[in-house]
Amino acid sequence: MPPHTVDTHGDTAPPPALHPAGETPFDRATAHLDAPLAVVDLQAFDANAADLVRRSKGKPIRVASKSVRCRALLERVLARDGFTGIMSFTLAESLWLARSGFTDILLAYPSVDRAGFAELTGDAHLAGAVTVMVDDPAQLDLIDAARPAVGAGEEVRVCLELDTSYRLMGGKVRVGARRSPLRTPDRLAALARAVVRRPGFRLVGLMAYEGHVAGVGDDVAGKPVFSRAIRMMQAAARKELAQRRWEAVRAVRAVAPRLEFVNGGGTGSVQHTAAEAAVTEVAAGSGLYVPRLFDNFRSFSGRPAALFAQPVVRRPGPGVVTVLGGGYPASGVAGPDRLPVPYLPAGLRYDPQEGPGEVQTPLLGPAADGLRIGDKVWFRHAKAGELCERFDQLQLIDGERVVGTVPTYRGEGHTFL
C-alpha cells in the first residue's frame, strides 16, 4: 500500500483567492511543472472530509473509490476518524485493492467477471475482504460456475441492492436510476432466502443508493422554479424511501439476522440518509473532490479540491487564448453540465461554436488578455474520479507547495472501466 500523504491538518484553511494568471496558489505551487497536469488541494480535501463526517452524525462513511481513483488518497481519507471501508466499482478493482492491503471492500455493482470470481473463490484473503453485489439468482449461478470445482472454494460474501427510484402515477413515472430489480421487501426477502440456502454464500449486507437525491442539486443558479420542484421531489422521495427501506431491512433481517451493514446515501444526501435508523453506514466520494456538479446543493458547500491545468499555446486575437486539449466530458446524459468549466483565472468561457476540444480549446473573455504563452488555465471537471482517467499523476498541494506526487489508477496501469 502506498505511504500516507503529508497530513496538513488544513480543515479550516480558506479557499484560494481569485487572482490574475500566474498569481493563484496553484500557479505558484506548480510554477516548476509544465501543464497539462492535475492537482489535489490537500487542505480542501481534508476540509471536505471533515464536513462529510459532520453531516454523517456519527455513522461511518464508506468511501466510493470511483470518485477518488487514487490509492494514496483512499488511504489518506480512510486514516481519518469517521471513514471505514471502500465502495468499489468493478471486481477487478476490488481484488487489486484487496491485494494492496485494503479491507472491507463492497463491490457496488454486479459483475460477470468469471476470471475474477475464480480468483475470489480460490483465495481466503480475497474472499474475506470483498463483498459482491447480487440482485438476481443468475448472478449466483455465474459465481458458482467460476469456482475451482463444484461446491468448492471460499465462501462468498454477498450484499443485496434495493431499488430506490421514486415512482408516481402507479409506476408510469420513474425518478431515479435504473439499478436493482428488487423494489419490494418481499422480493428482497425471497432473494435473501435463496442466498442463505445456497452453500458457499453468506448474506452480509443490504445497499440502497438514492442517486436522485444524493447526486441531483437542489439549488441551481438562475433556476429558482426548477430548484423548488427538485426540492419537493426529493422531500417526497426521501419520505417514501425511508419507510420502504425500513421495511426492506426488517424483511431481510428476518432471513439473515446477522446482517453486518445497511448502506445508503451519497455525497448530496449524507445527512438525510444517516438520520434513518435502519441505515448503519453511508457512502460518499465525490464530496472529497467537489466537482462542479456538486455546486448546486443547499445543504452543504464544499471546496473544489481536484483541478486540472491546460497550458496556453496560442493567442488568436484580443480576448481569446487557446489551450492544449481539455475536451474531457463526464459520463451521463450529454449536455453543458457534463463539461469541465474554466475556473482560474476567473472570467473565461468557451467559444460556443467550438466548446472544449480534443486537442485544443479556445477560451474567450477579458481575462484572456492577461495570459501569456505557457501560462496555465485551471479547470474543474464535471464529475469526481473520472478526471483521474485523463492523468497518470496527481500533484498534492499544501498551500503554495507541491508536497507529493501520487499515481492515479491510470498511473498504476489500471483503467478498470
- Beta bridge partners of residue 341, listed in sequence order: 380
DSSP string, 9-49: --TTPPPPP--STT-SHHHHHTTTSPSSEEEEEHHHHHHHH
Amino acid at 316: P
Burial of 178 (0-12, 13-18, 19+ CB in 10 A): exposed
DSSP string, 191-225: HHHHHHTSTTEEEEEEEE--HHHHSS-S--TT-HH
- Beta bridge partners of residue 356, listed in sequence order: none
Report the alpha-carbon distance of residue 388 to residue 70 in Å, rounded: 8
DSSP string, 362-384: EEESGGGGG--TT-EEEEE-SSS
289 closest CA partner among 303, 301, 268: 303
- Beta bridge partners of residue 261, listed in sequence order: 205
Q: Which cell numbers in the block locate residue 221?
A: 443558479
Q: Walk along the chain (417 residues) in steps of 10 and give the mean pLDDT of each run.
A: 36 42 86 97 97 96 98 98 97 98 97 97 97 97 90 91 78 74 91 96 93 70 78 78 90 96 91 92 96 84 95 96 96 91 96 95 96 96 96 97 98 95
Report the alpha-carbon distance of residue 284 to residue 270 in Å, rounded: 8
Provide the pLDDT for residue 10: 36
